[in-house]
């Protein structure tokens, strides 16, 4: 399902998600994306029932160093489902999971020409700055407040 999801992304969406122009993920990348270490990783996958089978339409994940206070996150939404709030919905779940684990900061690096990410980051009030090591990328980060009481 993950391979199909990635292959069905537009070339631009694949480039923005992986900072690469691949058409199909390698077996090693698929393993990295689908074998989750519960001690350091969290992933949420959005799935719809597409008549005869489940069809992935989005994913949000983070990975932290063991015992770390920060994590790297990524969100990808199929082109057909973009601009409908799915990415924000997935990100809010990711942020809550990070808070529950005591993670104080989340970060991501993305292509500087990724307008969807820039708007997403603005809605989330992420801090951003040019990557000092790569002018084609932007570094995003956010400090997480304490866990919300319900």
User: Helix 86-100 crosses helix 115-124 at what angle (to 10 degrees)?
Assistant: 50
What pLDDT is recorded for position 27?
94
Domains identified in the chain and CATH numbers: 2-143 (3.40.630.30)
* pLDDT one-digit tens code per residue, 8-31: 999 999 989 988 888 899 999 999
pTM as predicted: 0.88
Task: Report the 3 state secondary structure along 32-74.
Answer: HHHCCCCCCEEEEEEEEEECCEEEEEEEEEEEECCCCCEEEEE
Contact 21/15 with Cβ under 8 angstroms? yes
What pLDDT is recorded for position 22?
85
What pLDDT is recorded for position 68?
77
Which candidate, 148, 68, 51, 55, places its Cα nearest to that of 107? 68
Low-confidence ranges of the chain (pLDDT < 70): 146-150
What pLDDT is recorded for position 148?
54
């Amino acid at each position: 399902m993950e391979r199909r999801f990635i292959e069905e992304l537009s070339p631009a969406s694949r480039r923005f998600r992986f900072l690469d122009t691949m058409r199909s993920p390698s077996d090693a990348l698929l393993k990295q994306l689908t074998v989750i270490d519960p001690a350091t990783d969290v992933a949420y996958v959005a799935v719809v029932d597409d008549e005869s089978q489940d069809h992935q339409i989005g994913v949000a994940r983070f990975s932290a160093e063991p015992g770390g206070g920060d994590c790297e996150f990524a969100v990808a939404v199929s082109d057909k489902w973009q601009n409908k709030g799915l990415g924000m919905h997935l990100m809010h779940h990711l942020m809550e999971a990070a808070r529950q684990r005591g993670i104080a900061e989340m970060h991501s690096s993305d292509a500087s020409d990724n307008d969807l990410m820039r708007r997403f980051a603005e809605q989330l009030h992420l801090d951003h700055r040019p990557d000092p090591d790569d002018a084609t990328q932007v570094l995003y980060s956010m400090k997480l407040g304490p866990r919300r009481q319900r």
